[in-house]
Every structure is written in C-alpha cells, then in structure tokens.
Amino acid sequence: MPRPFGTANWVTLGRAIFATALFAVASSSLAFGMPIGRGLRWWLVAGAALTLALDGVDGYLARRLGQAGAFGARFDLETDAVTVLALALLVWAVNQAGAWVLLSGLMRYIFIIGGRVWPALAMPLPSSKRRQSFCVVQLVALIIALAPPVTPGWGAAVCLIGLGFLGYSFGVDVIWLVGRAGAEGKAASW
C-alpha cells in the first residue's frame, strides 16, 4: 500500500516551488536582460532564508509525525540541490560572483554523472551531519552573497568559502566510497 504524501513532503514541495521561482527570476534576467533590482533581491533573500528555515522543519515533521521514509529523504535532498543551483544562478545573474559560482549548484549533478561512469560513486552513503551542515553553509553563503548591501568582491569571497566547504564534503564522500569499493573488491577476491 503506498504511503500518503504527508505533511513533511508538502513543506518540501513548497520549498521546491520556491526554488522553481528562483530559477524563473534568474533565467529571465540572464536570457532576456531583465534586471533584478534591489527590492526584488531583498524579497529573494527573505524567501530563501525562509526556505532554508523550512528545510529543518520538514525533517522535524517527518520524524515527529512518523512520516520519515526513503522518498521524503530523497525529495528533501534533491530539493536542497535544486535550491543551491537556483541561488548560484541568481548570484551569477546579479554579478555577485563569476560563472564559477555555478559549480556549487552543479556539484550534486556532477557527482551523479560520476556515479554512472564510476559505479563506486553510486553506492549508498550513510547519513551525515557533516553533509547536511555543509549544505546549509553553502546555502547561507549564497543567500548572503545575494543580499543587496554585499559588494561583488565580498559576495564572491563568501561564495568561494561556501564552495570550499561543499567541495571538501564531496571529496570526503568520494574518498569514502572509493575506499569502500576497494575494500569490498578485496573481500570478494578472497
């Protein structure tokens, strides 16, 4: 019997819809030259901060209401990844950082493609507070960089720091997965 969608997943869906709106604003700016003014940037910052706060709410609700499951966890993860990509695109669109900032949003998708090419990277990872925390650091960095008072130099610096944390986290996971695959390969050959 299929599980109901659940309250926590509705919160995540709201976050995903906001990420879609971020993409729409960034795409309109980049494709059609529509400016993203100071007032709109403040609204985007406020919405992104609210979305980040709701990221903690959906997990809490899932555990509290007994609705935690594989679908909800994956939905949350992919919503986080899309939100990072949308915010990175916005930061680039308002000239707060160069195109390199898109790496923070593309890292998850590069990792997925890497798993198709190198099966060791497609193995499941255990849950990790480090991974969750560094995702939050990256989201906060992008939100700060988007804020109107932040100059492009400071915006780029904050994004670079966030990207460093995110890169470190992905690197730790890659090393762990490759080591695990090597250990399993050796065990299988005995």
Grouping H, G, I as helix, E, B as strand and the rest as coil, residue 57 is helix
How many Å apart are CA 103 and CA 98, to the nearest integer? 10
Amino acid at 30: L
pLDDT of residue 187 exceeding 60: no
Q: What is the 3-state secondary structure (H, E, C) of 158-172?
A: HHHHHHHHHHHHHHH
Range of weakest confidence among 3-7, 128-132, 164-168, 177-181: 3-7
Domains present along the chain, CATH in parentheses: 7-189 (1.20.120)
Q: What element of type H or E holds 143?
A: helix 129-146
Question: Residue 2's pLDDT band (boundaries 50, 70, 90)?
Answer: low
Q: Which residues contact 151 (CB under 8 A, 6 or more apart)?
A: none
How many Å apart are CA 35 and CA 95, to the nearest integer? 11
Question: Residue 183's pLDDT band (boundaries 50, 70, 90)?
Answer: confident
pLDDT of residue 186 exceeding 80: no
pLDDT of residue 74 exceeding 80: yes
